Chains A and B, each alone.
Chain A
């Protein structure tokens, strides 16, 4: 059949913006292929120019539809837009239905837009493990704006803020009161608040709740160069998108050119390093401990030790077998 195209060759074609190569290399990053590591390293060196926008919100809040309209608007400004849309994997079968793309059908014939669906595959926090690799690949492939759409999240999935220059939290009308709005978690990470479905009459209430929530925190807010806007949009009528694009453009300048923006990039890099190291350790531990774990489990069942001391022993025994 067809020959295996080496990742190094694909990387060269990624730089030329070739869709097939971008798509294939993202698959290899997802698979964690050792053969692709060097190619990804090469692309990382070229990446770092794109504006990475994270879009998060509860299921059904209108993220995918918003992304679709937003991407179309950004295209009229001439920028190439990459979209990474994440949906959950089944915790039972490991399979998934990736359904974000279906809300973005208007975009599919535009060569300046690339849409990739990703399944979480057990990763927590609303993101997939290879999301950042995909961002780097698109960045190196010449995409100016990269939009990450998280899984529909609950209240405390905040990892997107550690992956994006600008985080947009989408709230839908009718899902909560002013106490919901002052809870810790997802609402705290927004650089831009968007209330979707503003063609509905109860949207004003949600706008007001969010604005009041922000004034309560005005004295302790940690964004010295930025006032978090609360914007009402309707993907149905198209209203509010000019304001959204304006807010994203202004926040991009803050993210790229201020000291607070630089500190955030360092924090994001630190988080990514820690996360990658964590995954390396987990993989290594899983490999080294797989034969030992059943015996330790037997001992735990027989109460020959407590969970903490046996786990300590298991870690020591596993990493004793190879270099930590």
Chain B
């Protein structure tokens, strides 16, 4: 039997808007994934540590506060320090197009902005896990 995809959805920093991430959590649950939600106001350290303990396939960070170019470098540094190189990192939320380019250059696998339909989120995540293969 295929294993459900494991996802940690995280909110980092002072951003208090979690309606979107909850809709995504519900969408992924209904698509048969195991979803762990971090809750609000986490630090990059907490998120990375939880993602490693939970051995998630995907770490998704939702940001509506504009701090993506501060948060993601920290996340990649922490993952690198712990020797983790097989986790899929995605971003979601609202941000300028230039930042999307910068995040992808940094190693974020996919950035899904506010107009992404739920089905597209599911198919994107499923594709990323399939491409990664067994681990």
Closest Cβ neighbor of B131 among chain A residues: A1
Identify which of A4, A92, A102, A121 contacts B39 (C-beta below 8 A): A102
Instruction: Check B31 against A101 for contact (C-beta < 8 Å).
Output: no
Q: What's the Cα separation between A2 and B42 when bound, in Å?
A: 28
Beta-carbon contacts under 8 Å, B26-51 to A: 26, 28-39, 42, 45-46, 49-50
Minimum CB–CB distance from B132 to chain A (whole Å) comes to 6
- Interface mask (B9-26 → A, CB under 8 Å = 1, otherwise 0): 000000000000000011
- A residues contacting B by CB (< 8 A) are 1-2, 4, 19-20, 23-24, 26-27, 30-31, 89-90, 92-99, 101-102, 105, 108-109, 114-117, 119, 121
Identify which of A27, A94, A99 contacts B55 (C-beta below 8 A): A27
Closest Cβ neighbor of B38 among chain A residues: A102
Taking CB atoms, residues of chain A closer than 8 Å to B54 are 23, 101, 115-117
Instruction: Check B84 against A20 for contact (C-beta < 8 Å).
Output: yes
Q: What's the Cα separation between A30 and B54 when bound, in Å?
A: 12
Instruction: Check B29 against A115 for contact (C-beta < 8 Å).
Output: no
User: SS class of chain A's interface: helix, strand, loop or mixed?
Assistant: mixed
B130 CB-CB contact with A under 8 Å: no
Show 12 A/B contacts (Cβ-Cβ < 8 Å), sorted by A: A19-B53, A23-B55, A26-B55, A90-B32, A95-B4, A95-B29, A96-B4, A101-B50, A108-B50, A109-B45, A109-B46, A116-B53
Question: Knowing A93-B29, A117-B36 touch, does A30 contact B50 (C-beta < 8 A)?
Answer: no
How many residue pairs link A and B with beta carbons under 8 A? The number is 94
What number of B residues sit within 8 Å (CB to CB) of A?
Answer: 35
Closest Cβ neighbor of B86 among chain A residues: A2
Question: Knowing A2-B135, A121-B4 touch, does A95 contact B35 (C-beta < 8 A)?
Answer: yes
Q: What's the Cα separation between A316 and B84 when bound, in Å?
A: 49
Q: What's the Cα separation between A109 and B50 when bound, in Å?
A: 9
Q: What's the Cα separation between A109 and B42 when bound, in Å?
A: 11
Identify which of A89, A93, A102 contacts B37 (C-beta below 8 A): A102
Instruction: Check B49 against A108 for contact (C-beta < 8 Å).
Output: yes
Instruction: Check B49 against A109 for contact (C-beta < 8 Å).
Output: yes
Taking CB atoms, residues of chain A closer than 8 Å to B33 are 95-96
Instruction: Check A98 against B36 for contact (C-beta < 8 Å).
Output: yes
Most buried by A among B50, B53, B83, B84: B53
Instruction: Check A98 against B35 for contact (C-beta < 8 Å).
Output: yes
Question: Knowing A93-B32, A95-B35 touch, does A2 contact B85 (C-beta < 8 A)?
Answer: yes
Q: What's the Cα separation between A181 and B67 when bound, in Å?
A: 52
Instruction: Check B35 against A96 for contact (C-beta < 8 Å).
Output: yes
Identify which of B26, B39, B53, B85 contacts A23 (C-beta below 8 A): B53
Identify which of B6, B83, B84, B135 contacts A4 (C-beta below 8 A): B135
Taking CB atoms, residues of chain A closer than 8 Å to B30 are 90, 92-93, 95
Q: What's the Cα separation between A30 and B35 when bound, in Å?
A: 16
Minimum CB–CB distance from A35 to chain B (whole Å) comes to 10
Closest Cβ neighbor of A92 among chain B residues: B30
Taking CB atoms, residues of chain A closer than 8 Å to B45 are 109
B70 CB-CB contact with A under 8 Å: no
Taking CB atoms, residues of chain B closer than 8 Å to A19 are 52-53
Question: Knowing A23-B55, A24-B55 touch, does A95 contact B50 (C-beta < 8 A)?
Answer: no
